[in-house]
Structure formats: C-alpha cells, structure tokens
Amino acid sequence: MSLTQLRPSPQHAAPPPKPNRAKLWLYRFDTKATPYIFIAPFFIIFTIFGLFPIIFNAIVSLRTWRLDDPDKDGWAGFDNFSKLLSDSDFWNALYNTIGIFILSTVPQLLLALILANLLNRKLSGQTFWRIGILLPYLTPVVASTLVFAVFFARDSGMANWFLSLVGYGQEQPLDWRADKWSSWIAIATMVNWKWIGYNALLYLSAMQAIPKDVYEAAAVDGAGPWRQLWRITVPMIQPVVVFTVILSTIGGLQLFNEPMMFDENPQSASGGSAHQFQTIAVMIYKVGWKDLNLGYAAAISWALFLLILIVAAINATLTKRIGGDR
Amino acid sequence: MKHLGKSGLAAAAAAALLLSGCSGQSLEGNNDKAAEGAVTLKIAFWGDMGLDKLKTQYEAAHPNVKIVLNSGEYNAQHEDLQKKLVAGSGAPDISAIDEGFIVQFRSQADKFVNFMDKGGADYEAKYLPWKWKQSLSSDGKQIGLGTDVGGLAMCYRSDLFQKAGLPTDREAVSKLWTNWDDFINVGKQYTAKTGKKFIDSGTNMFNPVLSQQAVGFYDESEKLQMEGGPKVAFDVSMKAVDAGISANLASFQPNWDQGFKKDQFAVLACPAWMLGHIQDTAPEQKGKWDIAAIPGGGGNWGGSWWTIPSQGKNVDAAADFVKWLVAPEQQIEVFKTVGNLPSQPALYKDAAVLDYKKEFMSNAPTGQIFAATAEQLKPQYLGKKNGPTRVAVENVITQVQQGKLKSANAWAEAVKQAEKASTS
C-alpha cells in the first residue's frame, strides 16, 4: 500500500519533460503486473500438480477405463458412482478407514498435547528430549512399518511376547492380522508412534508463545496443572490445535502405507484375508492397479476427497468450539 | 522493498530451476546422439536373470550397442511398466514380464512390439506350446519371447525327514507320494512324530494342485469354472489344513523366512527359481535340502518373457538383442549362472542341462528333475481375471487358517469371492 501511495498518479505527473513512453509502460508494468508474476510460480505449479490431477481424475471417474480391456473405453456417466454405492467392499473400507482414523487420531493428539505440556517445563537435557520425540517422524514410513509388521507377527512377534508376560496367548498366540479389532490397534499404534512427536513439537512451539504471567495468575487463583492445561494452554494454542486436527484428519483418512505393508501378502492389496483392515486408499490401489479398473478407482478417489472435506469441516468446527466459547 | 527483494529472489530461483531442468534434458539428448548410430538399450527385470556376463559379451560383438541393466523389485517393475504404458513414454526398451502379470499385459498387446512382425513365427516350434500361447494375445499378436519356466518339484528337508523316521533318498521320497492324498498322509505321520508342521501354508498346496488341472479358474471362453480344477485344488488344501499339517505362513513374508530358519515346515513346492530363494534365505541349510518329484506330476509356477514396449525408439535393435538372448547358447548360460530353466524343450536334451547338479540341494540333478516336470505339464489357459481371482480364493484359505471360517463353509465362500473377483 505504501508503494502505491508514494507513486505519483499519471494526471499529476509533471508535464514539462515529456514522459518517456517506454519508461512509462515499464513503470506501469512494474506496478501492475510484477506482483502477479511473483506469485505466479505457485499458481502454475499448483495448476499442473494440484488442479489438473483433480480435474483429470473427475473426468476419468466418469469414464470406463480398463487397462485389461482397452476396447471398452468410453463415457460411463455415473455408472462408477452407482457401482460404488452398492459395493460392499467400499462400505467395509469406509468403516475400516473411520475406525482406524478414530483409533489413531484421538490418542495421537491427546498424547501429543500431554507430551508437549511435559516438555514445556524445565527439564535437564531439554533439547535432547525435544529432538528425540521427533525421531519417529524422521523414520521412513516403509521402514518403520516393516519393523512393526515383524513386531506384530503371530509367531515370535514382540507384541505377543509382551502379551505372554501377562499370561495371554500361551497355547494360541494372537494373530494380529486375523481380526478387525486387533489389526486396527496394530495399525493405529504405527500411526500414533510416528506422529505423536511431530504434533507435540507443534504444540510446544505454540505453548512457548503463551506469556508466563497468565499461568502465574492462574496458580495464584489456585488452578492446578491439569486445569491450567485445559483452561489456559489449550484455548491459547487453539489455532495450532485446529491445524493439527485438520492435518491428521487428511492424513488419517488417506492412510495407505501402514495397512498396505501390514498385510500378510502386501502384493494383493486386499488388506487382510477378509478385508479386515483395507482402507479406502488401499482399495483405490487394488481397484486401479490390481483389478486394472482405473475409472472405478477414480470414482472412489472422489468419494474419499468428499469424505475428507466433510470430516475436516466437522472437526474444524468442533475444535474451534473447544476454545472459542469458553 | 525488502519483501519485493525476497520474492524476486524466489522467482529468480524458480526460473533458474526451470531453466536447469530444461538444459538437463537437452544435455541428455546430446549424449545419446554423440556416437554415430549408437544405441542404448535399457532392460528392466527383477532379481538376477544372469545377464551380467551376457551384456559384456553382446556389447563386445556389437560396438554400437550399449546395454543398461535395471534390476528392481518384482512387483515394482511390473507396476512401473504398466504406468509407463499408460503414460505413453518412459518405458524401458526391453522389459521382462512374469507369468503372474503376462495376462494383464497380453490384453494390451497394442502397446508392445509384435514378434510376429519381427520374424518371431519361426520361434513357435522351438517353444513349449503352452509357453508360446501364454504370451499370445487373443488376436494373434506375440508380445514376448519366453525365457524361463518354473517347472514344479517338491523340495524337502532330508535332515528333518530323517528325524521323523521317513526315507531321505530322493527316489524313495518321490515314491512316498504319488498323489496328494499320500502326501497329506506323509505329513500327518511327520507331524505326529515330531509335533512340527509339515507344509508352509494351505495356499501353497492350492496353487500347485491347480496348476496340474486341465482347466484352471477360467476356460478359453473366459468363463469362471469353479467346480472343475479349482474345486479339486481347494479340497486338497482344505484337507491339508484340517489335518493340522500346515504352519499357516504367508509366502515371501518375514514370518515365512523365519519359518525356514526355525524348521517350521519340512517341504516346499518349488519351481526352479525357488532354489535361489532358499539359498538366500537359509544359507546355513546347505546340504539339508533335497528335491523329489511333486505329487500328481507336472505343474508350473512362474517363468518369464522378454517383451519390447512399442513406444521405444530402438525397437529393432531391442528385437535383435532379445532374439540373441533366447538363442540356445545364451539360455544355457543363464541356466548355469542362476538356474532358471529354459522354455525351449530342445534344451532339455542338452548335456549342459541334464548333467547339472545343484550343490546346495545335496547335489540333486536339478536340470533333469525340472526338465522332466516342465515337459509333463498340461497346458492351462490363464483367464484375464486369473490374478485377482487367485488372490480372492487364497484369502479364503487364509481365513480358514486364521480360524475365522470353518473349512466346511469355506468352499461356498470361495465361490462367492471368486465370482466377485471375476466381475471386478
């Protein structure tokens, strides 16, 4: 704004030395067009890598596109979407996705909050702990999932060894992949392990911006640490909470690597012998690259996109209410 | 002004990136054309196909050809090829395709060089007829020339057999199980004596038995035929699971690899290429494994083809190389290096194959054993939906092994899932 005010408008320009036309054009170009050029790279890249795939995907979802049957290519209207509504695999995948999402997101953010609160105190080796909790985030997800797959193995897995310490599964060790509840817990554990530290650091950075005197005043008024956390810290870091909630909603609903690699036979992308833990993202992969039905896969992708929009909106509204109405 | 300066910098950096991206590409192009008439052939495959030595040999004989070998992971290579075919560019000049994926690519024959146009018709007589047919599209285009087949045999742990009081000599073991019922009975004996499981998984009973049937999941009119071959194979696998001789381990997974080391199973249906896997997974078990005939005779698991995606720029040079690669001398060379069994029956009479003994497998004459089983094989048509259908039925077997499903109800569920997969 200050720049535009400083600029003499053309009417008030001193007339005596006739304005150089080229210079004037350059001047105008500089003030009018340059800002757009500066922001253009983002929009160009977004159009190519963000907008185009979304639109292309929408077009594909309205077509029949089968790699194993090239002759069938053509417009399909809403066939793929109506197939989706009657596909029990899709509803099962939706159920799994939401189940694993709740099991992973809620404990993840709560634990991250508590962890951040602990790290916000005076500790010896503060930097060590703060960096330490970020390590799981730095581990490549494929590597960590492979380790977890062995951890949750039926025979001689470490998880079953822990269970045997409390006397569970002596005769028949728990097959983590066999049932919905056990496979969901295993997958949610992987997600939580990876993301708790990352979210804790985000919370921590926001907490450091809260003035200390607020806490002092609360302490004088007799508020304990738990009450301080919920009544002062959480409302004051609320924007960051909303951010992490939306981010983990997107990540949680798109869950792919963990259920894919956890499978006994990852090549099949079936998410367990009876699709116990097949998430929507895994189903998209299976339909697209195993059944070779790209049109239907695109339709499921769009359903997932809509689902994420809805859940993210609900979560954001709920989270805003936590702090805002107090 | 400060802000302007910053974003200006960013824009400049972005521009620089774009520019360098372009120049990088043009540089690459220049390199390709540097030598007059030079041709670079990129070859994609998985594992070790014994090409290292052959590459040097071919390059020495053809100074204008440079060969780049790209060995990757089995699934990743096939999926990458599929994506590049959809994209229309970026595929390797030559790509290996396995039996598990050949149906998928056969139905996209337009995207491959048709070997019928490259003098491939002469090759038909040289190949096992079913091998030739498997890579032939429905409108008669030949998308690849076969390299190896996975003739089936039964690998067994002679040391564990001895402990269980079973014969250890490969002739005697072969006589123990002329059919699958005998095989399951031997398993029961073994399990009763040692308390250990006999086979790795029910799915690894289902697949070999299915490959021995005249008709697999689909007949040649692409109709699902569950009541024929699949029913026979499914019943055998259920019998094995019910007999309690299966360790219920999924193949090629960490648990399975551990199963090798911890003696969790004593037999394994093994095609020629499996020997390398056993050797890599449990090198300390050298001399403890041996090979007998598979019950029911014959059978095939895996085996690959060399194909040329038609989007390549050097398809003629690629075709020349593939033809050279499948010539008898080179096929025998590959067999000696990595043990992959050639798919041209004439070679099964070759002394180099017949005399070959595998040291790791107690010096078993693997050449003779595998050649015999490959020749006995009944050709089986693999339908378009063969892959997904097989996975669906395997999943049902896994459910039984996990105790989620009673074996009495399993067949109905298998039919239901197979029908679903056939329309997926």
Q: Find the CATH number of the domain harbouring A253.
A: 1.10.3720.10
DSSP A58-115: HHHHTEE-BTT-GGG-EE-TTHHHHHHHT-HHHHHHHHHHHHHHHHHHHHHHHHHHHH
Report, as an integer, the average pLDDT of B247-257.
83
| pLDDT for residue A7 | 57
At B212, is the pLDDT very low, low, confident or very high (cuts 50, 70, 90)?
A: confident
* Whether the Cβ atoms of residue A272 and residue A289 lie closer than 8 Å to each other: no
Residue of chain A minimizing CA distance to B107: A68
CB spacing of A154 vs B86 below 8 angstroms: no
Q: Is the pLDDT of residue B5 over 80?
A: no
Q: What's the whole-number mean pLDDT along residues A239-247?
A: 91
Does A6 fall in a domain? no
Residues B59-73: pLDDT tens digits? Answer: 999 999 999 999 888
CA distance B369 to chain A (A): 30
Instruction: Tell me the per-residue pLDDT of B115-165, one tens digit each, with 9 for 90 and over.
Output: 999 888 889 989 988 889 899 998 899 999 999 888 889 999 999 999 999
Q: What is the structure's pLDDT at A15?
A: 57
Q: Which helix (H) or strand (E) holds B305?
A: strand B304-307
CB nearest to A268's CB, from B7, B384, B391: B391
* A308 belongs to a structural domain: yes
Residue ranges of domains in chain B, CATH in brackets: 15-149+303-352 (3.40.190.10), 152-301+363-422 (3.40.190.10)
Between the alpha carbon of residue B408 and those of residues A184, B111, B239, B397, the distances in Å are: 28, 45, 10, 12
Q: Which of B86, B107, B255 sits opposite A68 (nearest CB)?
A: B107
Rounded Cα distance between A271 and A179, Å, is: 11
For residues B96 and B44, the answer to whether their CB atoms sit within 8 Å is yes
The CB density around residue A218, as the number of other CB atoms within 10 Å, is 16
- For residue A67, is it within any domain? no
The yes-or-no verdict on residue B29 having pLDDT over 50 is no
Does residue A66 form part of some domain?
no
CA distance B289 to chain A (A): 23
**A147 is a domain residue:** yes
Residue A219 forms part of a structural domain: yes
Judge whether A7 lies within some domain: no
Q: Are B99 and B150 in contact (CB under 8 A)?
A: yes
Phi, psi of B358 (to 5 degrees): -95, 115
Q: Tell me whether residues B388 and A290 touch, CB distance under 8 A.
A: yes
- Rounded distance, CA B424 to CA A305, Å? 22
B232: closest CA of chain A, how far (Å): 21
Q: Using only C-alpha atoms, what is the Rg of chain A?
A: 27
Asked if B395 and A38 come within 8 Å (Cβ–Cβ), the reply is: no
Q: What ipTM was estimated for this complex?
A: 0.80
Residue A53 lies in a domain: no
B394:A268 CB<8 A: yes
If interface means Cβ-Cβ distance under 8 Å, which residues of chain B face chain A? 4, 7-8, 10-11, 14, 75, 79, 82, 86, 103-104, 107-108, 110, 249-255, 258-259, 262, 264, 384-385, 387-388, 391-392, 394-396, 398-399, 402-404, 421, 424
Q: Specify the pLDDT at position B18.
A: 40
- Rounded distance between C-alpha atoms, residue B108 and residue B97, angstroms: 13
Which pLDDT value is given to residue B339? 78
SS3 category, A27: helix
Among all residues of chain A, which has the CA nearest to that of B400?
A273
Identity of residue A48: I
CB A237 within 8 A of CB A173: no
Residues of B in contact with A179 (CB under 8 A): 404
Mean pLDDT (chain B) is 86
Residue A222 Rama label (left phi>0; alpha psi -120 to 50; beta): left
Which tokens belong to A2?
């200050």
Best probe of the A interface among B251, B395, B413, by most A CBs < 10 A, is B395
Place A14 in a pLDDT band, splitting at 50, 70 and 90.
Answer: low
* pLDDT tens string B341-394: 888 988 888 888 888 888 888 988 888 888 887 777 767 888 888 888 998 999
Read off the pLDDT of each residue in A288-294 and give the average, rounded to a whole number.
90
- Pairing status of strand B94-98 against strand B39-46: parallel
pLDDT number for residue B351: 86
- CB-CB under 8 Å, A156 with B395: no
As for how many domains chain A has, the answer is 1
Mean pLDDT of chain A: 88
Its domain, for residue A166, covers 88-324
Q: Do A149 and B254 lie within an 8 Å CB cutoff?
A: yes
Interface of A with B in 8-47 (CB under 8 A): 37-41
